[in-house]
Chain A
Amino acid sequence: MSGDNPPRFVLASPESEFYWRSGADGRLRIQRCGECSRWVHPPGPACPFCHSRRVGPEPVAGTGTVATYTINRKEWIPGFTPPYVFAFVELDEDPTVRIGTNIVDCEIEEVEIGMRVEVLFEESGEWHVPLFRPAVTEGT
C-alpha cells in the first residue's frame, strides 16, 4: 500500500481488545492458557482445549512464516489502494496460530509462501494494527 494509511475499521471485542492495543509497547501478544499453556487465537473467554477460564495475553516473538496470501488488485474497501497483499501468517510459537495481516515494506512480487516475516505495528486511532514485513532481524 502506498501513501496514506488505509482505514482499518478495527472493531474489537472485550476478548480481543488487547490484541489491537498490544503494539503500543512494540510487542505482539496472543492469548495463552494459564493451565495447559496452549496458544488460543482468536481469543475467547476460555481455553478451547482444557476449558480453563485462566486465559490471558502473553507476548510472542512476533516472527512467523507466510502460509499463504493473495494480491488484491481490486479496491475492496475505499482507502485500500491496490495492489496490496493480504496474508495468513503462522506464528513460530505455534503454527496453528494463524494471523490475517498485510505484508508490507517489500515489493508485492517478493511475497511467497514460506517467507519469513516479523511483526510491526501501524497506529490507527487508538489501535496498533499488527502488520508483517520480511524478517530482517534474523538470518535466512
Chain B
Amino acid sequence: MSERMERRAVISGAAQSEVGRRLYRTGIDLTVEAALRAVEDAGLTTADIDGVSTYPGFGGSFGGAMGAELHEALRLSLNWRSAGVETAGPLGAVHNAILAVATGLARHVLVFRTVVEGSGGPLRPGSGGGGGGGMAGSAGPFQFMIPYGAASAACWVACYARRHMHDYGTTRSQLGAIAVNGRANAVANPKAIYTDPMTIDDYLAVRMVSDPLCLYDCDVPCDGSTAVVVSHRDYAPDAPAGAVGVNAMGTAIRGRPSWDQFDDLTSMMMRHTAASMWERTELTVDDVDTAQLYDGFSWLTLAWIEAMGFCGKGESGAFVEGGVNIGPDGSVPLNTSGGQLSAGRLHGFGHLHEAVMQLRGAANIQVPGCEVVAVGAGGGPETGCLLLTKGPS
C-alpha cells in the first residue's frame, strides 16, 4: 500500500474541560481550560503549538469558540489555522490538523470542539442547532423542512429510523440497547451528565419525541470543551502519555450532501465515509478492539455500526439487541465512556477523547489489550471517521 499521509501524524495530547449540563461559562473559557490541559498532557508548552484547528468556527451557529479566540487568548504564534463547518462532520477539524502536520505546515496543532448548548437558548427557527447549522434564516436546503415543523435533526433522523424498522424489522427495544449501553458505561465516567441506572423498560416507557425516537434516543445538550494535540510522528517517543497513531481517516461524501435527498433512507453518508477509511488501510473491521460511534441520536449509532461493517446491512438491530455484543465484554465494546446520550453532546469529540484514553490504557472502563479503535462522528451528510492505533501506525 502506498504511503498514507495521515500516518505521519499522531495524537500526542488529549483533555477535556469541566463538562456539565449548564455551566454558564463562556465557550472560550471552557476552550482555554481544555486546551491548556491538552498541551500539558502532550508534554508541550503553548510556545510549541504552531497550529489551531476547530469545528465549526466563525459563523457556525452552534460553535462554542472560534479558532481566532483561542489564538488570541493564549497569544499563540501560528504557522497554520483552520476552522470550518463544511467538513466531514466535526472530526473534519482533526482531519485538517492531520493534513497540516503531514504536509509540514505545522508540527503541533491544537484541535478543539467546544459546545455551550446546555446553557444556550432553545431550538427555534433562526437559532440553528440540532445538526442544522445555519439551517434557518436562509433559503438553503432546510427551507423544505422548516415550513413543516421539522426543525430538529430528531425529525429527520426519525424518518430514517422508521424506514430502517420498516425494511429490516428493527425494533425499539433494539434501538434502546444503544441508550442502555451508554447509560451503563456513563456510570464510570465522572464527567457524564446522566448516571442514574436505566433499563430497557425505562427506555420503552419514556415519552416519544419524534416517533419512533423517544427522549432517550436523543443526546443531552451540555457545556464543555475537548482538545487534542495532533503532532508529527517524530514527536511520538517524547509524548509523556503515549502517542496515538492515525492509521486511516475516512472523509468520503460520495452521495448527495443532504439530510432529505440521500439515496438510501436506511443509511446515511457514513456509509461512504467508513468505506473510504477502510480503503486506506490494511487493517480490517476484525482488528477493531472498541468502537466509539456517534450517538447524537441512537439510530445514528446503528447506521455507523453497519457502515463500519461490524454487521451486515440491516442487521444492526439484532447485533446490538440485549447489549451483549456492544458491552464492555462483548465483541465490539461500544461508547465506553457513555456516549452523548448519557455523557453529553460533545459532538464527536467525547468519542475521540475516549478513543485516546482506550489506546493509552487509561479509560475508566478499559478494554484489555486495546490496540485499534474506530471513531465515527456525525450524521446525515456530515460524517467523518478515524482509525486510531496504540502508538504510531
Q: Once bound together, how far apart are the Cα atoms of A100 and B140, in whole Å?
A: 14
Do A42 and B211 have beta carbons less than 8 Å apart?
no
Do B143 and A11 have beta carbons less than 8 Å apart?
yes
A36-59 CB contacts (< 8 Å) to partner B: 41-42
- Chain B proximity mask over A4-24: 1 for CB below 8 Å, otherwise 0: 001011111100100000000
Do A100 and B145 have beta carbons less than 8 Å apart?
yes
Instruction: Known contacts A42-B144, A69-B162, A96-B263; decide if A11 and B139 are in contact (CB<8 Å).
Output: yes
Q: Once bound together, how far apart are the Cα atoms of A102 and B209, in whole Å?
A: 16
Do B209 and A73 have beta carbons less than 8 Å apart?
yes
Q: Once bound together, how far apart are the Cα atoms of A70 and B212, in whole Å?
A: 7
Is B137's CB within 8 Å of the partner chain A?
A: yes
Instruction: Known contacts A11-B139, A41-B261, A100-B144; decide if A74 and B209 are in contact (CB<8 Å).
Output: yes
Do A71 and B147 have beta carbons less than 8 Å apart?
no
CB-nearest residue of chain B relative to A102?
Answer: B148
Give the most central of A41, A72, A78, A87: most B CB within 10 Å: A72
Do A86 and B141 have beta carbons less than 8 Å apart?
no
Instruction: Known contacts A11-B138, A69-B162; decide if A84 and B149 are in contact (CB<8 Å).
Output: yes
A71 shortest CB reach to chain B, Å: 4
B263-314 CB contacts (< 8 Å) to partner A: 263, 265
Do B147 and A70 have beta carbons less than 8 Å apart?
no
Task: Choose from B124, B143, B159, B261 the contact partner of A68 (Cβ within 8 Å).
Answer: B159
A residues in contact with B123, CB < 8 Å? 76
Known contacts A67-B265, A76-B150; can you find 13 more A-B pairs with CB under 8 A? A9-B146, A10-B147, A11-B139, A12-B139, A68-B159, A70-B212, A71-B208, A72-B211, A76-B149, A77-B151, A78-B124, A86-B150, A100-B150
For the complex of A and B, 3 pairs with smallest distance between CB atoms? A70-B158, A13-B139, A80-B149
